Amino acid sequence: MINSNVFDYINVLDKAADASWTRNEVLSNNIANVNTPGYKRQDLNFEAELERALGHSKYKTMDQKVGDLKDKHLKARVVNDYSNFSYRTDGNNVDIDTENVTLAANQLKYQGLMEGLNAEFKNLQMVTKSS
């Protein structure tokens, strides 16, 4: 078998798209619980996990860093926002306007990730046709 890193970026884009999809679900759950007393909003921290994994060595190229990620398990983690900040007396800390803006931004991110994945597969297809 040929040792190739051709799928390294595709794998990272795939994990990022999965995390973005999961974040949509988490944010939608926050919106659904906007009137639930005591509910604490949740979010996903995949970007921080990816940044930590990629930033571990400043002396490597991005290709090397992405190649190293195949051995790591990048996991998006759902985190609860237990901050005491709340506009409401019922203890719920979900702000519907903030959640809607965050959800819209995340949907745009997901669309961009899917376009990136499609572009990578088109590049692979083009390379295999010319070989």
pLDDT at 11: 83
Cα 128 to Cα 13, 65, 124, distances in angstroms:
21, 25, 6
Q: Which element (helix H / strand E) includes 43?
A: strand 42-44
Cut 0.75: pTM above it: yes
pLDDT at 19: 92
